[in-house]
């Protein structure tokens, strides 16, 4: 492994290890991977099978190594999964002479990288996943987080300057910078391109901070949307079980894709997005789509910021739902930030242009 001490960029090519443990991480880190490779650096990906993570990677076409599995929503299950996956990560990383490692929320990469003496950066934008951050922030070389998160919320995890690096804006403003929505997603789902569209995202029930619970408002939300006669609803489930449960409701004009679809394009074209998650809420807000959050976990600082700006609202009762008119090209006026700026913060020794 090449020494990573010192300041400034190293002009030599680097070998970078990136671990993807969630569907959203493919979208977040793909522009950084492509920037690295475009600048002559070598990147190897590992991925954990969960939700649509491997499906998105297969559609991308970038080589990866699938390792481990998800342990479910319980602490015991997650501990068993980590006990299985971390040794696999160690075997993968040993002897590959990585110069740096990077992940967004992986709890397996920081301990593996620390054991292999590979400098590593963890990214986060939800500050209340306490167990995850106690592990990741303490074992990482750098912690990259948005400026919206008050630093005192991260200090208790061991993330303080100079380890803590804060970036302006939202991560979505970086990885959506070159994005243009694909209208074929509308045709592919058999939707009327001229009709009103609401996109609904289910909860990450497998996350420890939600303790396995499904969102209690979701069935009422879907029934309310079905009552609004001219609205098409697309529900993006995270698991096959969620898809089956929603389909069993038998509601009119509700589409539940059984394969991965381009959620960002749907969010851009939608008149309204209602989500029990975080990343898709922020994608829609960045793309100019009105957002209702039905997230049941503790509120993130980035969402507090969006709410204060009027770009995100919290739904208490589905009777409040109204699907507004919206111009289809609102996404063109979004704030875009250069992914290279984020990459330079994440990998301080890396030369990119």
pLDDT per residue as tens digits for the range 137-171: 999 999 999 999 999 999 999 999 999 999 999 99
| Domain range list for the chain | 15-177+337-346, 184-333
Confidence of residue 269 (pLDDT cuts 50, 70, 90): very high
Q: What is the pLDDT of residue 268?
A: 97
In the predicted model, is pLDDT for residue 74 greater than 60? no
Q: What is the pLDDT of residue 305?
A: 97
Q: What is the pLDDT of residue 349?
A: 85
Fold of 15-177+337-346: Rossmann fold (3.40.50)
Bridge partner residues of 102 (DSSP): 18, 121
* 342 or 205, which is more confident: 342
Same topology between domain 15-177+337-346 and domain 184-333:
yes
pLDDT per residue as tens digits for the range 75-121: 565 557 567 899 999 999 999 999 999 999 999 999 999 999 999 99
SS (H, E, C) the chain: CCCCCCCCCECCCCEEEEEECCHHHHHHHHHHHHHHHHCCCEEEEEECCCCCHHHHHHHHCCCCEECCCCCCCCHHHHHHHHHHHHHHHHHHHCCCCCCEEEEECCCCHHHHHHHCCCCEEEECCCCCCHHHHHHHHHHCCEEEEECCCCHHHHHCCCCCCCCEEEECCCHHHHHCCCCCCCCHHHHHCCCCCCCEEEEEECCCCCCHHHCCCCCCCHHHHHHHHHHCCCEEEEEECCCHHHHHHHHCCCCCCEECCCCCCCHHHHHHHCCEEEECCCHHHHHHHHCCCCEEECCCCCCCHHHHHHHHCCCCEECCCHHHCCCCCCCCCHHHHCCCCCHHHHHHHHCCCECCC
Q: What is the pLDDT of residue 258?
A: 81
Mean pLDDT for the chain overall: 90
Q: What is the pLDDT of residue 216?
A: 81
In the predicted model, is pLDDT for residue 308 greater than 90? yes
Confidence of residue 2 (pLDDT cuts 50, 70, 90): very low
Top-level class of domain 184-333 = alpha beta
In the predicted model, is pLDDT for residue 353 greater than 90? no
pLDDT per residue as tens digits for the range 33-59: 999 999 999 999 999 987 789 999 999
pLDDT per residue as tens digits for the range 195-250: 999 999 998 754 433 344 466 888 899 999 999 988 999 999 988 888 888 988 89
């Amino acid at each position: 492994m090449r020494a990573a001490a010192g300041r400034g960029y190293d002009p030599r090519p680097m070998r970078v290890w990136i671990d993807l443990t969630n569907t959203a991480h493919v979208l977040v880190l793909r522009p950084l991977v492509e920037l690295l490779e475009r600048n002559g650096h070598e990147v190897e990906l590992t991925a954990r099978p969960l939700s649509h993570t491997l499906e998105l990677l297969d559609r991308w076409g970038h080589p990866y190594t699938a390792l481990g599995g998800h342990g479910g929503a319980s602490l015991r299950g997650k501990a068993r999964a980590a006990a299985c996956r971390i040794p696999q990560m160690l075997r993968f990383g040993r002897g590959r002479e990585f110069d740096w490692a990077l992940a967004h929320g992986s709890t397996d990469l920081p301990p593996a990288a620390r054991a292999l003496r590979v400098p590593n950066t963890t990214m986060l934008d939800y500050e209340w996943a306490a167990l995850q951050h106690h592990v990741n922030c303490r074992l990482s070389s750098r912690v990259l987080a948005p400026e919206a998160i008050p630093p005192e919320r991260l200090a208790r995890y061991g993330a303080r300057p100079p380890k803590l690096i804060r970036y302006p804006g939202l991560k979505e403003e970086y990885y959506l910078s070159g994005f243009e929505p694909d209208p074929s997603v509308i045709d592919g789902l058999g939707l009327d391109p001229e009709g009103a569209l609401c996109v609904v995202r289910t909860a990450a029930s497998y996350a420890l901070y939600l303790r396995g619970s499904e969102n209690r408002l979701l069935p009422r939300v879907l029934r309310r949307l079905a009552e609004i006669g001219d609205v098409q609803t697309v529900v993006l489930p995270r698991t096959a079980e969620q898809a089956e449960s929603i389909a069993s409701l038998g509601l009119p004009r509700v589409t539940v894709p059984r394969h991965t679809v381009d959620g960002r394009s749907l969010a851009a074209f939608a008149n309204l997005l209602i989500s029990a998650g975080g990343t898709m809420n922020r994608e829609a807000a960045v793309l100019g789509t009105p957002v209702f959050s039905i997230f049941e976990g503790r509120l993130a600082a980035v969402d507090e910021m969006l709410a204060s700006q009027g770009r995100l609202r919290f739904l208490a009762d589905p009777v409040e739902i109204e699907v507004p008119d919206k111009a289809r090209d609102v996404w063109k006026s979004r704030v875009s930030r250069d992914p290279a700026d984020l990459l330079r913060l994440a990998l301080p020794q890396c030369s990119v242009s």
